Amino acid sequence: MTLSRTQKILFGAAGFLAALIVLLAVGAWLRPSMTEFKLEASDFRPDRDGQLMRHRISKSFQKWTDKGLPLRLWQNGAPLGDADAFSDLDAPGPFYLIKDDAFLYANSAMYRIISDPGAVVVLRADNRLAASRIIPPLGGALMVLTALGLLAVFASPAARHLPHSPHRRHALDSLRGLAALCVAALHALGTFYPVSWFNFTYKDGHLISAPPLVEWFKMSPLELVLAGKVMVATFWILSGLVLSLPLLGAASYNKLGQAAAKRYFRLMPLAALTTLASYVFAASGAYPDYAFSHLVQFQTGNHLVHDYTGHMDFFTAWCDALLLGHQLNAPLWTISLEFWGSLLLFGILGCTVALKQRRLLWLCCIIYLAQVVREPAYVDFILGLFLAEVLVIRGHNADQLIKPIPAILIFVLAVLMGSAYPGWLNHAKNGLSGELDAWLVRGSAFGFVALAALSRPVIRILTWKPLIWLGERSFAFYAVHSLMIHLPGRIAAVQLMQIGVPVMVACSLGLLTSLAATMVAADYLFKHVDRPSTALANIVGRWFAGIPGVGKTATSSEPVPTITHAISARDVSQPPPPSQEVRTDRAW
């Protein structure tokens, strides 16, 4: 029997609810179970000039604190008073303090109770809490699997293997992939190596220096590779270009409405899935961040996933996933701005595309957004709109606009501008103003995108097949790289350090492991989440437009109103030329 799409969705929802009820029933039947250890006065040693008594907590109890479960002292079935700081131990009455999950400190009043033969004082960990912690990650994992199933329903097998469009600009995809790779490398370096290597860090009033090779790299134009601001600006300029290009080529209110309606459904599935996966890993204690920090004995600069301490509940995680948040996956902060920047771009296009002097209005928008709103992401989208206008005007000859010699000069200038903060140029000028820094970042990113769109030699380089492969998976690569850094990357580093591998060697191998795992995960997500979400977004866009065959059929026989295009003299009722039809489903 063949089931329709609606029946598959209903059966999937019923199965999901049944599994959720089973999970809740298991949680309701859990019974309290305590792991406890009776304290003896002989277990304590004097500490802090004899004012406190200290007891070292055994490894069997430390594993519970690693899971986020609190340890408490109990006397005859009643909890004893715990302190928040050492100063609280000076207060009258019995108090204790557990420090670094490894040492138990007791003041004199508490030690007298422990020394009393008639008092039974135990250190307890509640195993019921440990069992209850299983439910949120299991529920999150179930949600992830359900989301994958729903995407598989919406996307037919043909949608997962969409043929390459002959009008697709692969060089832009490749540039986006390179930018995502640079961001992942920046985050990985900041996660596996000391923060003092990449930031100006002081200790006892003295600047902590990095190894000579790192210092040379930071003060050279090669620092552009780790210029995260430039790479993020490149993302947004590319999105502004790719999203506005087909709308400028054949603008209509119908197309603008479809593009705006499907934008959320294009961005949300992959971002939500990686957010929920991060919640599952965090709630289950899979991230080995505590063990890694304990072994390396230095401060790292990046923490890209939520450090689960019990404050992130299941409902909050779902809100974070569906509302394009970044509490559980920090790099996704750019996706929220991507969504709102896209809507702003569509609004500006809808208001100005039919005007002859629209470019002047776009320039006014840039000035207003930069000086009043002060949100660089929105400026980047309008810069991409300007590049799209150039491509539409030049048509087939757009890739010949920048000749080889000017392309080299633009590339050199973009590298110098992109590495100016906080690299060698900033050091030479003894600091640059904040606004100048922002415009240097914008100028560098604009130069790279312009070369990828308007220079034939650069386009030939960027259409190398491995770069195209990376570019197609750039969104998935960006969304999942933080999880791979903190999970397989740090797990590999911890395991290597535990068997005696030097710290820096283990961290370097962990970094390479994280990048390799990101490649594998990005390829899977691209095939099973990214492309199906593109198909889902297209279905939503056509449904809102009332296109026959998708959802509700359009009942009106009136033609869709077409916006008069100021740069073309053709009749507005004439369909756009095929050369200007550009797929935008890979913009993110």
Instruction: Report CA-CA distances (Å) from 271 to 12, 319, 321, 326, 483.
Output: 21, 12, 7, 9, 12
pTM of the predicted model, to two decimals?
A: 0.74
SS3 of 124, please? strand
Backbone φ/ψ region at 202: left (φ over 0), alpha (ψ -120 to 50), beta: beta
pLDDT digit string, tens, across residues 281-320: 887 778 887 788 878 877 776 678 764 444 566 777 888 8
pLDDT digit string, tens, across residues 475-509: 999 999 999 999 999 999 999 998 989 999 999 99
Cβ contacts of 341 within 8 Å, gap of 6 or more: 236, 239, 240, 377, 378, 380, 381
Give the containing element (helix H, strand E) for 4. none
What is the rounded distance in angstroms from the CA atom of residue 361 to the CA atom of residue 367?
10
What is the rounded distance in angstroms from the CA atom of residue 170 to the CA atom of residue 387?
16
Assess whether pLDDT exceeds 70 at residue 26: no
Residue 350 · residue 206 · CB < 8 Å: no
Residue 44 · residue 106 · CB < 8 Å: yes
Residue 329 · residue 278 · CB < 8 Å: yes
pLDDT at 22: 61
pLDDT band with cut points at 50, 70 and 90 for residue 544: confident
Domain ranges of the chain: 34-132, 135-547
Residue 261 · residue 311 · CB < 8 Å: no
CATH topology of domain 34-132: Immunoglobulin-like (2.60.40)
Handedness of CA 345, 350, 354, 360 (dihedral sign): negative
What is the rounded distance in angstroms from the CA atom of residue 420 to the CA atom of residue 432?
9
pLDDT digit string, tens, across residues 432-469: 556 777 888 899 999 999 999 999 999 999 999 999 99
pLDDT at 433: 55
Residue 182 · residue 515 · CB < 8 Å: no
pLDDT at 482: 93
SS (H, E, C) 258-320: HHHHHHHHHHHHHHHHHHHHHHHHHHCCCCCHHHHHHHHCCCECCCCECCCCCCCCHHHHHHH
pLDDT at 2: 59
Across 125-145, average pLDDT:
59
pLDDT at 437: 78
Instruction: Report the interhelical angle of 253-283 vs 333-352 (nearest 10°).
Output: 170
Q: Which of 264-278, 293-307, 342-356, 457-471 has the lowest mean pLDDT?
A: 293-307
